[in-house]
Amino acid sequence: MSGRVKGCFDSLNARWPWLKIALPTVIILVFIIRTLAPVGDSETVRLAPMQAHPAVPERPARSFEGKKLVALTFDDGPSPATTPRLLDILKEQQVPATFFELGSLVKRNAWITQRALREGHEIASHTMWHQNLARLSASAAQGDVNEANAAFVEAIGYVPALVRPPYGSINGETWKSFGGATMISWSVDTLDWKYRNTESIMNNLVNQISDGGIVLMHDIHATSVDAVPSVIAKLREMGYEFVTVSELIKMRGVSVEPSKMYARFAP
């Protein structure tokens, strides 16, 4: 050590002798805190999709023998104006659903997401801001997904294993931002956002439904929620049993791949 540096240390020691103890103590404490702290957002985003989580809720055993299966899915919520009423309907009808939620709304309405999960529904991601990921750079898409994942971790404690890209739009690079989550599209587009009446929703449903189908609706529209009892009644009349998307995947024995988008799980 040079004489100048040694002289500096001697001067500091003479003025503040407690620094000899305090400084090493602070360094040790910082190291311990960083070691024991929860995983940061970026690491959580990378790890959570591969960890165990309640993607398939526990419900009383049901018989699916000879039944056609369908998954009702709802996008763009949760909305305090409409989603709670939808949850009331689903609870009364004993129908499970999969909610593809926006991280931005989960942050503001975590209580609705938590209620849906508590009542046996599946929570999935619809990204943070409903951007067209195919039009974003890889880094911008990753940022959107990371922000959404952090919102889900804060609200329910894990990153959903399923994700639906807004508009079903993805490109060769931005799908990687989902970090292993399974991409889900739909086989039945009710166009409930466009034709906001039960008759149109029902016509589109009947014309497109098939065994293993995934029905797309939106829980942010009151007219969509109004149509749900008719949708449930019609599908039951046609011999369908309701399951979540993860249950549908499991029952059909499909090994999903992160680079593929799935619209239906046929027998």
Contact between 85 and 59 (Cβ < 8 Å): no
The encoded tokens of residue 242 equal: 């309701």
Phi-psi region of 76 (alpha: psi -120 to 50; beta: other; left: phi over 0): left
> 264: which DSSP letter?
B
- Read off the amino acid at residue 267: P
Inter-CA distances, 53 with 87, 227, 253, Å: 22, 31, 19
Residues with catalytic annotation? 75, 218
Helices (H) and strands (E) in the chain, counts: 10, 9
